[in-house]
A and B are shown apart, each in its own frame.
Chain A
Amino acid sequence: MSSAVVVDQMTLAYGDRVIQRELSFAVETGQICVIVGGSGCGKSTLLRHMLGLAEPTHGSVSFEGQNFTHADQQQRMAMRLQWGVTFQQGGLISAMSLAENLSLPLELYTDLNARQRAELIELKLALVGLAGYQNYYPSEISGGMRKRAALARALMLDPKFLFFDEPSAGLDPISSRRLDELIASLAASLGATVIMVTHELDSIFAIANHAVYLDNVSKTLLDAGPPAYLRDHSDHAVVREFFSRGGQRSSASKETLNA
């Protein structure tokens, strides 16, 4: 396996306030990597910096060997075409119907005609279990459906990289589990590398094969590796405790998922 994503010595700060310093880790192609840590440790901030929505004060992130942080706007845009991103709130444009939201990347970056676009939208909505919801507006569907619709939009250009910011936050356990299953199966079928910010242990043990733990006291990366390994063998008690708090429940959920 080769490294699909490499974060190198990245320091995140808002003004003089350092959020995390000198973060370095790599995610292999096809892996589902979760960024975890206590509340306020900078998980979402790290994701925003990786996506170029904020600039790190030091260090960089590379995708498939290409440095994204130091790339110009055109290069960044070319790299972003390989991404699918869903935000904590979904990020669907509220003034547009689901079909219009999903159509946007196709209109911008493909030469497909209206009929072909409509067919693809129908397919992607069906993939996330929202067949027939084309003409609904984000405000007319539930929170879980909005997250799935955002996932459908993220999938429109068949991305190589999928980014999720707290995908199951605010969802009931059943919706949350279904979304986990969906992410895992879509990532597997697309061969995509997934980077996900979450602190839902059930989700972590159900779908992730790599985890990065950010500490909000030392303000740096404390440990990285497979979640089960970190739970049982991490050198840091706080990491073991984080992953073991929901260990039994989580193992059960994985069994359910695999069944």
Chain B
Amino acid sequence: MGSDAHLVFRDGKLLVTLSGDWSIHAPNPSVHDILLTQTYQTADIHCLDVNSEGIGQWDSSLVNFIKQLSDRHPNAELRHTLPNGIVALLDLACAVPPIVSTSPAEASWLSNLVTWVSPFSRSEQVGLGVMQFMAFIGELVIAAAKALVGQARMRMTDLLQFCYQTGPNALPIISLSSVLVGVILGYLGAVQLQQFGAGIYVANLVTVGVLREMGALMTAIIIAGRTGAAYAAQLGTMQVNEEVDAIEILGISAMEFLILPRVIAVLIMVPLLTLYADILGIIGGGIVAGGLGISPLQYWTQLQESLMMSHVVVGLLKGLLFGLLIGIAGCRAGMQATRNSEGVGRATTNAVVTALIYLVVADAAINIVCQWLEI
């Protein structure tokens, strides 16, 4: 049998007659809808008389109905014949009064939009972000200076462990991607160069492309996704577990103890991995050249013609800078993580996205500078 509620206003009393089975899985009378049809003023009600003798099964839907009714008539006395279970639930629901918010009134979506697009508000946020970034860099520089004079509280075992995680552990994926990048560059060049009978110059294209650009960039992208994200997750989890607080209370600088070894590890390992990626990329290009009928000796001879120390140095310098940027992006995101699992997830995403933006901007800047300097 469906639920039903019948309301009658008489002499300052609201007589409520409830009947039927009340279930949250079936449609129930709504206090809101019923009261819309009533003509009395809620202030005139001094008594709510609830007759529940006709009810069968009940659940939260009935409790909710009575609470809604009671909330809409706060000055009315509640008289009822309700089952004990409902009374107990009503008592529980009314035990703690709703919190009175002391925070500023919630802004409308329109004012939020205006604030968001306001140039001042945006520039203020950007300015704050830049200040925080500069403060982070400043602290990192001070910690690095202390490390140079042997005063930083950094454990050598941590540094070695991070170096191992960043470098040797990444070799398989770096190997695969580097060879394939060499192959891609080789095929890309071969298709065009063969049209002019200049297939042999595939070696030049691969060598310059890998050494100056792709070796460092691909390595950095992989390390950003692998190590940068791991740093953010590690430090974010340490925030959640209050490890960072404990370290600070012990009087240890988190910058020296947690961040510096991580940044140094990527700073050391990314250039080394770049060098490794360069070699494998050139080998990948050699595989393509072999397919085009260029002998290994011809490829090697042609490669040597285009192999200039400046290409290697530019690539390694890029690797060094990329490593620093990945370390900064990962560690900063981790240290800014809010103290919950969602915060750790967001920090990890931020670390990768920020690192990729840093990499692209830095790469473009270096290429422009190299063009100016004719390197």
Contacts of B248 in A (CB 8 A): 53
Q: Is A83 an interface residue (CB 8 A)?
A: yes
- Interface segment among A63-71, A92-100, A198-206, A246-254: the answer is A92-100
Q: How far is the CB of A175 from chain B (nearest CB, A)?
A: 19
Contact A91 B103 (CB under 8 A): no
Most buried by A among B100, B153, B249: B249
Task: Name the interface residues of A64-98: CB closer than 8 Å to any CB of B.
Answer: 77, 80-81, 83, 85, 87-95
Contacts of B100 in A (CB 8 A): 217
- Interface segment among B26-34, B238-246, B277-285, B329-337: the answer is B238-246
Contacts of A95 in B (CB 8 A): 158
Q: Is B251 an interface residue (CB 8 A)?
A: yes
Most buried by A among B100, B241, B249, B250: B250
Q: Is B104 an interface residue (CB 8 A)?
A: yes
Q: Is A115 an interface residue (CB 8 A)?
A: no
Q: Is A190 an interface residue (CB 8 A)?
A: no
Contacts of A18 in B (CB 8 A): 102
Contact A93 B247 (CB under 8 A): yes
Contact B242 A81 (CB under 8 A): no
Contacts of A216 in B (CB 8 A): 99
Q: Is B252 an interface residue (CB 8 A)?
A: yes
Task: State A217–B247 Cα separation when bound (angstroms).
Answer: 34
Per-residue interface assignment for chain A, residues 194 to 222, with 1 indicating a CB less than 8 Å from any chain B CB and 0 otherwise = 00000000000000000000001101000
With known contacts A91-B242, A95-B158, A85–B103 Cβ distance under 8 A: no
Most buried by B among A87, A93, A94, A108: A93
Task: State A90–B245 Cα separation when bound (angstroms).
Answer: 10
Beta-carbon nearest neighbor of A101 in chain B: B246
Residue among B103, B104, B153, B243 making CB contact with A93, cutoff 8 Å: B243
Contacts of B252 in A (CB 8 A): 104, 108
Contact B102 A87 (CB under 8 A): no
Contacts of B103 in A (CB 8 A): 16-17
Contacts of B237 in A (CB 8 A): 94
With known contacts A16-B103, A18-B102, A217-B99, A89–B241 Cβ distance under 8 A: yes
Beta-carbon nearest neighbor of A163 in chain B: B249
Q: Is A184 an interface residue (CB 8 A)?
A: no
Contact A93 B251 (CB under 8 A): no
Task: Name the interface residues of A96-123: CB closer than 8 Å to any CB of B.
Answer: 104-105, 108-109
Q: Is A51 an interface residue (CB 8 A)?
A: yes
Most buried by B among A16, A51, A88, A95: A95
Q: How far is the CB of B125 from chain A (nearest CB, A)?
A: 14
Task: State A87–B240 Cα separation when bound (angstroms).
Answer: 11
Q: How far is the CB of A222 from chain B (nearest CB, A)?
A: 16
Contacts of A93 in B (CB 8 A): 238, 243, 246-247
Contact B250 A87 (CB under 8 A): no
Beta-carbon nearest neighbor of A96 in chain B: B155
Contact B153 A108 (CB under 8 A): yes
Contact A87 B238 (CB under 8 A): no
Task: State A194–B76 Cα separation when bound (angstroms).
Answer: 50
Contact B249 A85 (CB under 8 A): yes
Contacts of B246 in A (CB 8 A): 85, 87, 91-93, 150
Contacts of A16 in B (CB 8 A): 103-104
Beta-carbon nearest neighbor of A15 in chain B: B103
Task: State A90–B242 Cα separation when bound (angstroms).
Answer: 7
Contacts of B158 in A (CB 8 A): 95
Contacts of A219 in B (CB 8 A): 102
Per-residue interface assignment for chain B, residues 322 to 355, with 1 indicating a CB less than 8 Å from any chain A CB and 0 otherwise = 0000000000000000000000000000000000
| New contact pairs (17) apart from A93-B247, A95-B158, A109-B251, CB-CB < 8 Å | A17-B102, A17-B103, A53-B249, A77-B251, A80-B249, A87-B242, A87-B245, A87-B246, A90-B242, A91-B245, A91-B246, A91-B249, A92-B243, A93-B246, A94-B243, A104-B252, A217-B100
Q: Which residues of B are at the interface with A, using a C-beta cutoff of 8 A?
A: 99-100, 102-104, 153, 158, 237-238, 240-243, 245-252
Q: List 15 A-B contacts (CB under 8 A).
A: A16-B103, A17-B103, A48-B245, A51-B249, A87-B242, A87-B245, A89-B240, A89-B241, A89-B242, A91-B242, A91-B249, A93-B247, A94-B238, A104-B250, A108-B252
- State the 9 A-B residue pairs at the shortest beta-carbon distance, nearest first: A91-B246, A87-B242, A91-B242, A89-B241, A89-B242, A85-B249, A77-B251, A93-B243, A17-B103
